[in-house]
Structure 1
Amino acid sequence: MDTVICESPGKLVCIQRDKPVRQADEVLVRVRRVGICGTDMHIFRGTQPYLSYPRVMGHELSGEVAEAPEGSALARGDVVYIMPYLSCGTCAACRKGRPNCCMNIQVLGVHRDGGMTEYISVPEAFVFPATGIGLDEAAMLEFLAIGCHSVRRAQVQPGQRVLVTGVGPIGMATAIFAKLKGAEVTVLDGQNTRVEVCLKTLGMDHGVVLSTGTRDELSVLTEGDFYDAVFDATGSPKAIEAGFGYVGHGGTYVLISVVSADITFNDPEFHKRETTLLGSRNATVEDFEDVLSAIRAGLIPTASLNTHRAALNDLPDVLPGWTAPEAGVIKALVEL
């Protein structure tokens, strides 16, 4: 079967691999769509902190059931999505009901080979029916669920002021779900085109393009109070550190980004605000279900978010171009 593998940073190749043999507790899925996410771009660039090479990327997956265990609720031909965070079910985090930060987590496309291939076999517990949505939408559930999870972590309430810094796909997902909670949402990004998408397509309240006057502009927008909740989805240590200054008194700062760096902040300012600092990792089954419901209800413009697509065999040629800001990629889908 055709498989695209990242042999080393900057090097993608299409190879042939044997079709996987399904184990007794697994579902064999014929992969049909793979979303390209910031994690994949970091892998390609060599800046993903949890990865070793070579690696088959791809964790935003939808497909069709090829084989299922006897007695399974899934049947051949069913359209499904895959939850890519394979948790152990027994560690301290899993026992607390937080498998998204499992101590032994194996994320498809990061810790183990992912879905840039024709078939993948995964434990049945991580395969779900994508009832009522299409293959494209099913492949977009995962990045939207990450945004949904971060908003749930912050316990965003109606009427709160929310700032999302870095509005790539994850930041846009966060902004969408904060808006659905009834918040007044401001987005901040270095790319004017992304800010425009948030304003014109996603209906966000305010948009700010990064500049030397950013903090003053945010102060004006909030009458000097700054934000009840700030979400960082930049992937930039410098931006993460700046974000501490955008949190209002009694506010919450949620770090969605994962960076290979130590983050520092001013302790007196942190305490003066009684800031709540949260990490947000991956998503849960409940988050996926919330996103699925929102898509079915027509609350998320998935077609507008999908800006690029390519066939699997063409990916080694097109992906390098997608990494450039001027490409304007929001969500790219690989089609099999």
Structure 2
Amino acid sequence: MKAIEITQAGEMKMVVREMPQTGAEDILLKLSYVGLCGSDLSTYLGKNPLVQFPRIPGHEISAVIESVGAEVPATFQPGQQVTVVPYTNCGECSSCKQKRFNACRYNQTLGVQRDGAMAEYLAVPWQKVLADEQLSAVQLALVEPLTVGFHAVDNGKVTDSDTVVIFGCGMIGSGAIVRAHLRGAKVVAVDIDDSKLEVAKRLGADHVVNSKSQNLHEELQKMTGGHGPSVVVEAAGSPFTYQAAIEEVSFAGRVVCIGYAGSDISFATKLWVQKELEILGSRNANPSDFEAVIKYLKSGKLDENLLVSKIIAPEDVPAAVQDWSENHGKILKILVQF
């Protein structure tokens, strides 16, 4: 079968791989669309320490069931449209014992610690497959990236009494904007790209701030009556936004961190104590987040064209990723159509 492989940092090409081997509890999938994620870009650039080369990227999946193993439940049948939960969990570590499977100590994500879905076929355990005939193939490919922002908002315990600031209006931040809006919160989106801020408005942001051209502190103070936002979601992975999150959040506020910064960051630690902040990490997503995103997409409230920057063929992936690495500011989601 054809597959896209990152052979080493800065090098990606089409290769031919053997068809996946399937066991009794496995489902063989024929891929429809696979999304390119920021983690795939980091892998391509050689910045992901969890990856060993060569690696097939891809964990944002839309597919059709090709065949099922002998012990797969009868609810799964060839021809069904599906998406996939791309993480593993051991069931025994401290996270798993608390049913926080998304933070499993030994997690292996498709396309990161193990080969991913950027190929014609993929075999996965049936327990990781979610079938849904109401969603389109494109919508199914958007489920997983939206779940990460949904999960962050859940971690932040956001309610309709909160003002939530979201730093970074990429795909992950977009999911956080949607979820916070659905919770009834006042949502403020912050980015340095006006086109992404326009999308943020259409996704439910009540206010937007371009932190490059506007005074972020002054704008947030005006919006919150001088208190600062009660919740900040950091989805940009920038030293500036990490520092701003601590500085701008209200006293007794919550900060939820999703983004990976490329370097260590210095904080005014007195603010943690004086404000009595809750500072939380947020990783991947749980089954409940997948259910929530699927329910949202079924509502018809999202025009997926807002989030899909382009759809490309597999043979165009190397050039597209190279271009993305040089001009990543305008891209929300690239889908590869198999």
Q: TM-score, normalised by structure 2?
A: 0.95
Question: What corresponds to 1:311 in structure 2?
Answer: 313
Q: Which moved more, 1:84-93 or 1:159-168?
A: 84-93
Structure 1 residue 145: deviation in Å?
0.6
Matched, 1:158 2:155: no
Q: What CA distance in whole angstroms lies between the structure 2 residues aligned with 1:282 and 1:96?
A: 16
Q: Which residue of 1 aligns with 2:204?
A: 203
Structure-2 separation of matches of 1:213 and 1:13: 44
Whether the 8 Å CA contact 1:2–1:313 is kept in 2: the answer is: no
CA deviation after TM superposition for structure 1 residue 198, in Å: 1.1
Distance, in Å, in 2 between the alignment partners of 1:204 and 1:232 is 15
Aligned to 2:35: 35
Deviation of residue 327 (structure 1)?
Answer: 6.9
Match of 2:93 in 1: 91
Q: 1:67-113 deviations in whole A, cap 9, x for unaligned?
A: 11225221111111010011122222112101101111110000100
Q: For 1:17 and 1:326, how far apart are their aligned partners in 2?
A: 29
Structure 1 contact 49–259 (Cα < 8 Å) conserved: no
Aligned residues of 1:78 and 1:129 also touching (Cα < 8 A): yes
User: Is 1:220 matched up with 2:222?
Assistant: yes
C-alpha contact 1:49 1:260 (8 A) present in aligned 2:
no
Structure 2: any 5+ residue segments left out of the alignment?
none
Return the alpha-carbon distance in structure 1 between the equivalents of residues 302 and 277 of structure 2: 31
Q: Distance in 1 between matches of 2:248 and 2:50?
A: 29
Moved beyond 6 Å, runs of 4+: none
How much has 1:267 moved relative to structure 2?
Answer: 1.9
- 3-state SS, counterpart of residue 106 of structure 1: coil
The 3-state SS of whatever aligns with 2:203 is: coil
Task: Look up the equivalent residue of 2:186 and give its one-letter code.
Answer: E
| Secondary structure of residue in 1 paired with 2:169 | coil
Contact in 1 for aligned 2:238/2:262 (Cα 8 Å): no
Task: Provide the aligned length of Structure 1 versus Structure 2.
Answer: 335
Comparing 318-327 with 31-40, greater Cα deviation is found at 318-327
User: How much has 1:328 moved relative to structure 2?
Assistant: 2.5
- Relative to the length of structure 1, the TM-score reads 0.95
SS at match of 1:187: strand
Identify unmatched segments of 5+ residues in structure 1. Answer: none
* Counterpart residue number, 2:133: 131
2-side partners of 1:213 and 1:297: how far apart? 37
User: Which residue matches 1:193?
Assistant: 195
CA contact (8 A) 1:59 1:108 kept: yes
Superimposed CA distance per residue, residues 125-167 of structure 1 (whole angstroms, 9 cap, x where no aligned partner): 1111023101110010001111111111111010310000011
1:13-162 matches, within 5 Å, as 13-70=13-70, 71-72=72-73, 73-162=75-164
The alignment partner of 1:5 has SS state of strand
- Identity %, equivalent residues: 31
